[in-house]
A and B are shown apart, each in its own frame.
Chain A
């Protein structure tokens, strides 16, 4: 069973905020929420991660609900270069660090 659930695809207008949801209702206490993206067959790119507090970096913001059962990745001002497949995954701190990507969300930025 998939540990995270994401919409298959989304569109967003260039310059607008892109909000990508992820459900992870069975998350355990020691699991972090990580987001990666992959631009057409390039190497996956780390975006952001968090445990229970909201996080922000130069690329994006991550909002995690209080019960930790869902989260939202926010790209504040989407550009055409943000068109990619976005993956939400759960990882334990200092585990094997193996990344297992599901199908992700294919985000298309519309000019």
Chain B
């Protein structure tokens, strides 16, 4: 089954404790991205990757890092989480060959930083 998986689905952590949210897709998609969704602010892009070893900042990259060493994986790293990073996070993937706007989303990771 074609899918995007994220782990963990729920995470409660404390300020400053490094964490990684994993994202994996099995569709051989070139394009992957991370979004955060907050009430009243909609969906905002954090980082995106056009292919392996090619990443770039989205609209709200501060406090986040990403890497794209393999085509299928695109982890999101919070080196020193802060309470303002409490949010619902989504990973997405797509293939330009199918029209880049047709994106497949993961189930989401709800992060709480205390």
Contact = CB atoms under 8 A, between A and B. Distances in A.
Interface string B49-88: 0000000001100000000000000000000000000001
A32 B101 contact: yes
Contacts of A96: 48
B42 A43 contact: no
Interface centre among B4, B43, B88, B90 (most CB of A within 10 A): B43
B43 A99 contact: yes
Given A97-B33, A99-B35, A100-B42, A43 B101 contact: no
A105 B94 CA distance: 24
Given A41-B88, A99-B45, A49 B99 contact: yes
Interface stretch (A4-12, A15-23, A65-73, A87-95): A87-95
Report whether over half of chain B's contact residues are helix, strand or loop; otherwise say mixed: strand
A94 B31 CA distance: 11
Interface in A77-111: 89, 91, 93-103
Given A94-B96, A99-B45, A41 B101 contact: no
Given A41-B88, A43-B90, A97 B105 contact: no
Contacts, number: 66
B112 interface: no
B100 A43 contact: no
Nearest to A89: B101
Nearest to A31: B101
21 contacts: A34-B102, A41-B108, A41-B110, A43-B4, A43-B105, A44-B90, A44-B105, A46-B101, A46-B102, A49-B102, A89-B101, A91-B101, A93-B99, A94-B100, A95-B100, A96-B48, A97-B48, A97-B94, A99-B35, A100-B42, A101-B43
| Minimum-distance CB pairs A-B, first 8 | A43-B105, A97-B100, A91-B101, A101-B43, A98-B45, A101-B42, A34-B101, A44-B105
